[in-house]
Amino acid sequence: MTTTARDVSVFGDAITYFNEAADLLGLDAGMRAILTHPSRQIIFSIPFQRDTGEFEVYTGYRVQYNFARGPAKGGIRYHPGVTLDEVTALAFWMTWKCAVVDLPFGGGKGGVTCDPATLSQNEIERITRRYAAELVEVVGPDKDVPAPDVNTTPQIMAWFMDTYSMHVRQNTPGVVTGKPIEIGGSRGRTEATGRGVTICALDQMEKMGLKPETARIVIQGFGNVGLYAAKLFAERGCTIIGISDVTGAYHNPKGIDIPAAIAYSGKHHNLAGFTGGEKISNAELLTLECDVLVPAALEKVFTAENATQIRAKLIVEGANGPTTPEADRIFREKGIIVIPDIMANAGGVTVSYFEWAQDRMGYFWKEKEVNERLQETLLDNLHELQAIVAERKTTLRTAAYMLAIDRVVKALRLRGVYA
Ligand code: GLU
């Protein structure tokens, strides 16, 4: 049997990127060992009652990967593909993502192996409350701060916050970010990941001589990341020639009417039947000739099998882990520039940080202030990466890991290893 990319551990792939940067930094074996092991992995059962009255049991996870720079931080994913390996990789990436944009957080991630499409809102609420209750001792504003991820919404964050607050007998909005604004969420959080993708992309495009008015963009995924990235690219005058979601992909060389696509997916809950573009396969979408390609769905989208066929000039990773190390090597050889996930999609966690800070102050900012601070945070750090690339003749991904590892290692050495 041949081994496909899917069989390889996601965490194993993630460590490949870490090692490349660690080699360039000359990192010693002890530090490498510490940083390639998660601090804590928690697995638990979530028994819950179906609306029919029957009981079922799902599996919940929370991985707290590293605490050197602050409390663990990272989303909760509800998806049938959730495994300990995936959650660990995602928590590992959160560690470097928070460090790359210099947030005072470590890295964490959680998940429940389930398919929310088969669950009612009441069932999702019960699962969420039990998930939160199982974690009461180990989460908190100074311990570990969850947030939304694939298939988890502000409403789910509200249930998480309420359950935690009930247990500790104290209203604690800072235990989770991505909440509705009415109960301590931040303005600008919902759009933040997509906004960050466009901020990073437009900056890199300028350096490559790609003008927004003539740029053709393809976006894979039309959830919280892809949808807002499409909206903001379109607002900047870019032409979005391809979009997709789980129902399929849609191509229009003249440009898809993004407000119409957003309205359509809002009404129908997906893009099935959308007529604003020719229906093509997801594989065809990824190989469309374009200037900027934005994977904004799940991991392992670009593999050794399809990387040679990619015809974009710039890839901006809205998703976490969309590129396998084999595909990354091919992109490097082909001269395709990649803004890596830990930089490109850091806008979400950056505004999560702003939300956590606002909750602790009890003083909330205007949207303009949030967006300005977001832009400043992302561009300051992206420019650092571009400088490392120029100096070390490496890729943005390796530069991002180098900067992030250096920041985490500095914190770790200052604190010392409690052994
Ligand atoms: N789930 C998002 C991510 O992968 C956001 C995490 C957060 O805001 O803590 O970056």
Taking only the tens of pLDDT, the chain with its 419 residues reads 344 445 568 999 999 999 999 999 999 999 999 999 999 999 999 999 999 999 999 999 999 999 999 999 999 999 999 999 999 999 999 999 999 999 999 999 999 999 999 999 999 999 999 999 999 999 999 999 999 999 999 999 999 999 999 999 999 999 999 999 999 999 999 999 999 999 999 999 999 999 999 999 999 999 999 999 999 999 999 999 999 999 999 999 999 999 999 999 999 999 999 999 999 999 999 999 999 999 999 999 999 999 999 999 999 999 999 999 999 999 999 999 999 999 999 999 999 999 999 999 999 999 999 999 999 999 999 999 999 999 999 999 999 999 999 999 999 999 999 98
Whether residue 388 is contained in a domain is answered as no
Return d(Cα 23, Cα 192) in angstroms, integer. 33
Range of the domain at 141: 38-183
CATH number at residue 78: 3.40.50.10860
Whether residue 227 is contained in a domain is answered as yes
Rg of the chain over Cα atoms, rounded to whole angstroms, equals 20
User: 331 and 203 in one domain?
Assistant: yes
User: 144 and 265 in one domain?
Assistant: no
75 lines ligand 1 (CB under 6 A): yes
| CA–centroid distance, residue 222 to ligand 1 (Å) | 17
User: 178 and 284 in one domain?
Assistant: no
Whether residue 285 is contained in a domain is answered as yes
163 lines ligand 1 (CB under 6 A): no
Fill in the amino acid letter for 144. Answer: D
User: 335 and 202 in one domain?
Assistant: yes
Whether residue 282 is contained in a domain is answered as yes
Of 319, 344, 369, the position where a domain reaches its end is 344
Of 309, 344, 379, the position where a domain reaches its end is 344
Task: Kindly give the number of the ligand 1 atom that is closest to the alpha carbon of 352.
Answer: 8
179 lines ligand 1 (CB under 6 A): no
73 lines ligand 1 (CB under 6 A): yes
Whether residue 31 is contained in a domain is answered as no
109 catalytic per annotation? yes
Helices (H), 311-346: 325-334, 341-344
Of 137, 157, 183, the position where a domain reaches its end is 183
User: 46 and 176 in one domain?
Assistant: yes
**Could you say which of 109, 179, 231, 300 is catalytic?**
109
User: 201 and 178 in one domain?
Assistant: no
- The alpha carbon of 259 is separated from its chain's Cα centroid by a whole number of angstroms, namely 24
User: 178 and 71 in one domain?
Assistant: yes
Whether residue 28 is contained in a domain is answered as no
User: 219 and 126 in one domain?
Assistant: no
- Pocket mutation for ligand 1, best pick of 191, 349, 377 (most atoms within 8 Å of C-beta): 349
348 lines ligand 1 (CB under 6 A): yes
pLDDT at 419: 84
Task: Kindly give the number of the ligand 1 atom that is closest to the alpha carbon of 149.
Answer: 1
Taking a C-beta distance cutoff of 8 angstroms, is the pair 46, 60 a contact?
Answer: yes
User: 143 and 97 in one domain?
Assistant: yes
- Reported pTM: 0.96
- Pocket mutation for ligand 1, best pick of 62, 86, 93, 94 (most atoms within 8 Å of C-beta): 94
User: 87 and 204 in one domain?
Assistant: no
Q: What DSSP designation does 92 have? A: H
Whether residue 26 is contained in a domain is answered as no
CATH number at residue 257: 3.40.50.720
pLDDT at 3: 42
Specify the DSSP element, H or E, that contains 57: strand 55-66
Region of 250 please: left (phi>0), alpha (psi -120 to 50) or beta: beta
Buried b (16+ CB within 10 A) or exposed e, 115-141: ebeebeeebbbbbbbbbbebbeeebbb
User: 152 and 198 in one domain?
Assistant: no
User: 279 and 161 in one domain?
Assistant: no
Whether residue 327 is contained in a domain is answered as yes
397 lines ligand 1 (CB under 6 A): no
Give me the number of domains the chain comprises: 2
